[in-house]
Amino acid sequence: MLQPGLMMDFPLTIPAILRRAAQVFPEKQIISRLGDGSLHRYTYGDLNRRVLRLMNVLRDLGVKSGDRVATFAWNSYRHLELYFAVPALGAILHPLNIRLFPEQLLYILQHAKDRAVFADRSLAGFFAEHQSALKTVEHYVLMDDCVSSSVALPTAALDYETLLAGAREEACFPVYDENSAASLCYTSGTTGDPKGVLYSHRSVYLHAMGCCMADSFGIREQEVVLPVVPMYHANAWGLPYACAMTGATQVLPGSQLFGKPLAELMERERVTFAAGVPTIWNLFYQHLQQHSYDLSHLKVILSGGSAISQSLIANYEREFGIQVLNAWGMTETSPVGSLCRLKAQMEDWPSEDRLRVRIKQGLPVANLEMRIRNEAGEELLRDGKEAGELEVRGPWVARAYYGSSAADCAFTEDGWFQTGDIATLDADGYMEITDRKKDVIKSRGEWISSVEMENVVLSHTAILEAAVVGRSDALRGEAPVLYAVLRDPQQHVAPQELLEALKSHFAQWQLPRLSDIHFVDSLPKTSVGKMDKKALRSGSKE
Amino acid sequence: MLQPGLMMDFPLTIPAILRRAAQVFPEKQIISRLGDGSLHRYTYGDLNRRVLRLMNVLRDLGVKSGDRVATFAWNSYRHLELYFAVPALGAILHPLNIRLFPEQLLYILQHAKDRAVFADRSLAGFFAEHQSALKTVEHYVLMDDCVSSSVALPTAALDYETLLAGAREEACFPVYDENSAASLCYTSGTTGDPKGVLYSHRSVYLHAMGCCMADSFGIREQEVVLPVVPMYHANAWGLPYACAMTGATQVLPGSQLFGKPLAELMERERVTFAAGVPTIWNLFYQHLQQHSYDLSHLKVILSGGSAISQSLIANYEREFGIQVLNAWGMTETSPVGSLCRLKAQMEDWPSEDRLRVRIKQGLPVANLEMRIRNEAGEELLRDGKEAGELEVRGPWVARAYYGSSAADCAFTEDGWFQTGDIATLDADGYMEITDRKKDVIKSRGEWISSVEMENVVLSHTAILEAAVVGRSDALRGEAPVLYAVLRDPQQHVAPQELLEALKSHFAQWQLPRLSDIHFVDSLPKTSVGKMDKKALRSGSKE
């Protein structure tokens, strides 16, 4: 019989992260950019005291353990306070994506049955309009984000600061198991209804530890971290918790996530580590090319959410000395799943070969396991060639969707999550996404990787964005259709030129027809800034 | 009621670390220095295949889950194989300290009731001699460590390689809870009988993750790690598991842990990170001063187990560009408890102030919490001045000793472990040990810090080692007695000179008498290389 170890039963919970921040890093700063451009500064010590007050506010509002408390806000210190206070109380933090369409928001709020909503004042219009439909919401609490706006406000809304001013600071933490629910995020849902992922204290805590591992994000006390990724997007990739765990300085950028305001904030606060989707970094690069800032402290840009181009990685490194790290993850994986750092033996490789690795989604982070399987369910070789559906497992991977039948087909019987991504794994352990399963183009019975085709097009210096989708084709089954956005609309590129570039990477039968190469002003995006291929496909049918 | 999170129930177990090493880092190397000076090289892929065989060997020997399997060996690849195979099987790895006295070994083996012993051939003499007394041990397996020796061997001993050659490679991992016992280490026991600490898979796994956090050891794939710390000393500080988790190269140095063999090994294998006790680094520094090696890859020396001197930190940095990191821990804390890295705001401090911080034991690592209490049980201020007994808690801290009554006084009722160390905590979160509780010198009702006094003496360039203990004194209660070892026996230092140095740091009543300052050829050490103050104290009575 197995003997239990004799180690402490120390639960991995979010309040332990806060305790650490308050005791070991009380002087370290959290800086928030408000709607009027001013900066709010306080420390982890202040954060802790206000979280204690906020917990008492929540308690007084009748929020009980297990209740869902929604947020509807930009990245700011108040949002961060909710990140700690709600789970600390045993309730469930539910950050809503402020960019969703009203019908999606209604669906999610009704599905989650949120009891309270904490909203930035300037964003509260949605709730004023739909208040009658949101029957479970008992309280609206507004946070003044210093935006002069005249939006309608929900009736009987409370004011965040008034509540905090009237609250006790007395600490009273309930005791619960580390497997208790801590927060709830819904997938962006490019297909079907949004689905909820219910994170546990344990999964959030382990994920935060993971983010601090040297080969993952490597968050440490000396970093100044700016999450451009919104706090409603998969827990801002775990950064708020990872920073608190290590005492890293947090710079919360509010609503202006582009060009001048972003660059000025990075310059002023000497940001060392920033994280966001490729679209942000693509536009930001253009801005940096045209303006001059001192970003000498910025060492790492973390890019995730969709594929990044080789040229963008190369350009940031060459022109600004900034390392762009490619990462992969999903709401269902908390979200960090893999990260692309080169192995020691690759450091001496020619720059071209290194770039070829760096656009891969990278090595699974510690704690996460990956395999690829074909449609018959057979595990495929890790040779960098065989492509199949990527499956993952680990302590911060979902085993079911919230309020959904347990038999959801995304979860295999032997305990893996099917990501819906088509990927290869190579002998060095690197994973590369070749497509979303639903975006795969099947031509003459074989797959064409839309992502690979996009990468080739993006290596053309005149191209800003590219997307490849399939259209049905009588002869080939499906045929690729290419949409490209010019970096400079004045600088014309002939479709033939792109086709020529593709010829050295694809077989003749895989190439798009010349008439299937389109230049467009912009590409449709989802609410979290990913390419919306569903919209493109429906466009390509017209 | 709390809702359960819907995350995977993924147990944190040692086989998961091995799976990761085999899948993601199969090509990364493990290098072992054997007794004849030759190097053995293989990969994590090889390690994995041999662990599978070893598991079958253990199974065939009748080792069952929960059984203790002792090791008696230097740091080498076979020892590493046991580190994985024994816990993977659900059995308990029990590394024995090869430097203990026979009576201590007998006590520990009888207390642990080990069923099998895996010993380096050259170390097997002890077991031949005491075989009849070791009634629980059914099997002795000898590992040829390439030392030509003529020690007696236990009867009916088996050969490791013969067993492995005959075993299947088929994988068959039992399923168990993460709280199952994984390994057992006994404290070195400078007072009383050695006590066993029974680590769980969870505690070992979390500790390994902790070692890989950027602000802890920061182990990552690119490191080449050489644990001078023996694998029988608190799991070699978690390094074997942390390296496997991240694919770091491991260099296992065998028995020659000094001067030329150590420096040559570091040079040849381009070691980046080495870990051991201060005594090792003190002597190693002397060797490096007199000989020339290319140690340009060596960035970090981790020092733990006892206090380190300011001058040693300064010398390594100035002369060799090597950062010496001071760490603190105990067998009861797995062992990593704290680590001294400077906070961002200290980077601009004058070098002297920075050194003053760097000899502290540092910030508690993430997951570990610390408090200090006085003898009345009152928690003391975190002001860097008030000193009290250090108490810790966390997921890799023991809650009881193995086979001992649960009511052991080292464990408080509210769930903290009393370390027996006297320490301060400062406002920045740094912990500094001022004494072992039993080494405290109480003079005129107040404490004199022996550690602080030793540090002052060690800042004298002619002094290699120093120890301060108390002797009973009619007038003062206790009075300090100073023992010092000269770096160069020819270079005489007057006791008066040391006394003068102490005067600027201590009050008159705290100083040792001139006749209590002794120069000695060496200082007594315990089996793990710590200063043996018990022996010194009994000497000072004579």
- The domains of chain B, with CATH numbers, are 276-438 (3.40.50.12780), 439-538 (3.30.300.30)
Q: In this complex, is the C-beta atom of A238 within 8 Å of any C-beta atom belonging to chain B? A: no
Looking from the CA of B76 toward its CB, the CA atoms found within 13 Å total: 23
Q: Is residue A216 classed as helix, strand or coil in its secondary structure?
A: coil
Q: Among B66, B199, B366, whose Cβ lies nearest the Cβ of A20?
A: B366
Tens digit of each residue's pLDDT (9 = 90 or more) over A317-351: 999 999 999 999 999 999 999 999 999 999 999 99
Residue B8 near residue A398 (C-beta atoms within 8 A): yes
C-alpha–C-alpha distance, residues A43 and A49, integer Å = 10
Q: Which residues of chain A are within 8 Å of residue B363 when distances are taken between CB atoms?
A: 24, 221
B2 touches chain A (CB under 8 A): yes
Report how far residue B56's alpha carbon sits from residue A138's, in angstroms, rounded to the nearest whole number.
Answer: 61
Three-state secondary-structure class, residue B302: strand
Taking CB atoms and an 8 Å limit, are B5 and A199 in contact across chains? yes
The residues, any chain, with a CB within 8 Å of residue A252's CB and separated by 6 or more, are: A30, A31, A32, A33, A74, A75, A76, A77, A79, A80, A226, A227, A231
| Residue A542 annotated among the catalytic residues of the structure | no
Res B190 pLDDT > 80: no
φ, ψ (nearest 5 deg) of residue A24: -100, -25
SS3 content of chain A, % helix, strand, coil (to 5): 35, 25, 40
Terminal Cα distance for chain B, rounded = 67
Q: Given pLDDT bands bounded at 50, 70 and 90, which one contains residue B495?
A: very high
Q: Take residue B500 and report the two structure tokens written for it.
A: 């003068």
Q: Residue A406 pLDDT > 70, yes or no?
A: no
Contact (CB, 8 A) for B17 and B238: no
The neighbouring-strand residues paired with A482 are A468, A517
pLDDT confidence of residue B529: 72
Q: From the CA of A444, how many Å to the nearest CA of chain B?
A: 34
Q: Which of helix, strand or coil describes residue A509?
A: helix
Alpha-carbon span A363 to A297, nearest angstrom: 26
pLDDT at B4: 58
Summarised one tens digit per residue, pLDDT across range B108-156 is: 999 999 999 999 999 999 999 999 999 999 999 999 999 988 899 999 9
Q: CA B191, CA B298: separation in Å to the nearest integer?
A: 36
Q: Do A222 and B343 touch (CB under 8 A)?
A: yes
Do residues A479 and A511 touch, judged by C-beta distance below 8 A?
no
Closest chain A C-alpha to B444 CA, distance in angstroms: 34
Question: How many CA atoms within 13 Å lie on the side-chain side of A106?
Answer: 12
pLDDT class for B245, splitting at 50, 70, 90? very high
CA-to-CA distance for A366 and A215, rounded, in angstroms?
A: 9
Give the other-Cβ count within 10 Å of B264's Cβ. Answer: 15
The backbone torsions φ and ψ at residue B276, rounded to the nearest 5 degrees and listed phi first, read -175, -175
Gyration radius of chain B's alpha carbons: 23
- Give Rg (Cα) of chain A: 23
> How far apart are alpha carbons A216 and A341 in whole angstroms?
8
Is the pLDDT confidence value at A120 over 50? Answer: yes
The CA-based diameter of chain B, rounded to the nearest angstrom, is 75
Angle at B84 between CA B82 and CA B87, to 5 degrees: 95
The number of helix segments (H) and strand segments (E) in chain B equals: 15, 25
Closest CA to B251 of B277, B281, B275, B278: B275
B-contacting residues of A 497-536, CB under 8 Å? none
**The one catalytic residue among A135, A438, A442, A503:** A442
The structure's pTM equals 0.92
Chain B residue numbers touching A203 (CB-CB < 8 A): 5, 7
Q: Please give the Cα distance from A421 to A436 (Å, whole number).
A: 4
- Class of residue A46 by CB neighbours under 10 A (exposed 0-12, middle 13-18, buried 19+): middle
Please report how many Cα atoms fall inside a 13 Å half-sphere around the Cα of residue A329, on the Cβ side: 33
Provide the total of helices (H) and of strands (E) in chain A, helices listed first: 15, 25
pLDDT of B313 > 90? The answer is yes
Residue predicted with more confidence, B325 or B375: B325
Q: Phi and psi (nearest 5°) for B158?
A: -100, 160
- Tens of pLDDT, residue by residue over B253-288, are 999 999 999 999 999 999 999 999 998 999 999 999
- The end-to-end CA distance of chain A, in Å, is 67
Minimum-distance CB partner of A215 among B197, B246, B364: B246
CA distance B8 to A369: 12
Q: What's the pLDDT at B2?
A: 44
The one-letter amino acid at B165: A
Least reliable range by pLDDT among A59-73, A326-340, B305-319, B434-448: B434-448
Task: Please choose, from the candidates A208, A183, A211, A209, the residue with its C-alpha nearest in 3D space to the C-alpha of residue A198.
Answer: A183
pLDDT single digits (tens) A17-74:
999 999 999 999 999 999 999 999 999 999 999 999 999 999 999 999 999 999 999 9
Largest CA distance in chain A: 75
Tokens of B501: 């140095």
Residue B199: list chain A partners with CB under 8 A.
Answer: 5, 7
